[in-house]
Amino acid sequence: MIQEMKHNTYKQIAKVALLCFVFFIWTMCNRIFLFLPPMIGLLFIIFMDVYQRKNLIATIGILICLVIFEAQNQLPLGILPLVFLIVRYIITEKFNLIFGHNALFVFWYVGVLYLSYFFVMYIFEMFGFGLEFKMHSIFIVYFVCESCLGLVYEKLKKIANEKY
């Protein structure tokens, strides 16, 4: 029993390490090819899922991915995890209590996450932190792409839950 639990823990750590590595490579490619979305919205959808299941290892992995994103984009470290938690507790949790969980709300969550992040970055810029972070029209494409990927993730999650 303990050996099986230890094996599952190592398996989870390997999956999280692979996620962090793939995200690191994706973020590097995103800096080169500007049409690639940053995958912040998809990370948020995955974060909501693993946080709800109380999977500490996966949650730490997602936080590492966020720090990777902030470090590679030379943004203040820790802003994205704070935005994730604030949006999770203040907006999505209340929204789910009122309306129930629906996969189509993925568009809403990704949009709110991006708007919240831009708002926080705007506040930092307003107080003179000298960030070169501007909102461009390409973020609309990012929003649509990441929302669609979030819907695919929700669908795959639903299929996996029905399978077991």
Cα separation, 122 vs 126, in Å, equals 6
pLDDT tens sequence across 67-88: 999 888 888 888 899 999 989 8
Model confidence at 127: pLDDT above 80: no
- pTM for this structure? 0.84
Judged on CB neighbours under 10 Å (0-12, 13-18, 19+), 95 is middle
Nearby residues of 105 by Cβ (< 8 Å), 6 or more positions away: 92, 95, 96, 99
Of the candidates 111, 53, 59, 121, which has an alpha carbon nearest to the alpha carbon of residue 85? 59
Of the candidates 142, 93, 99, which has an alpha carbon nearest to the alpha carbon of residue 117? 142
pLDDT tens sequence across 128-150: 666 565 666 777 888 888 888 98
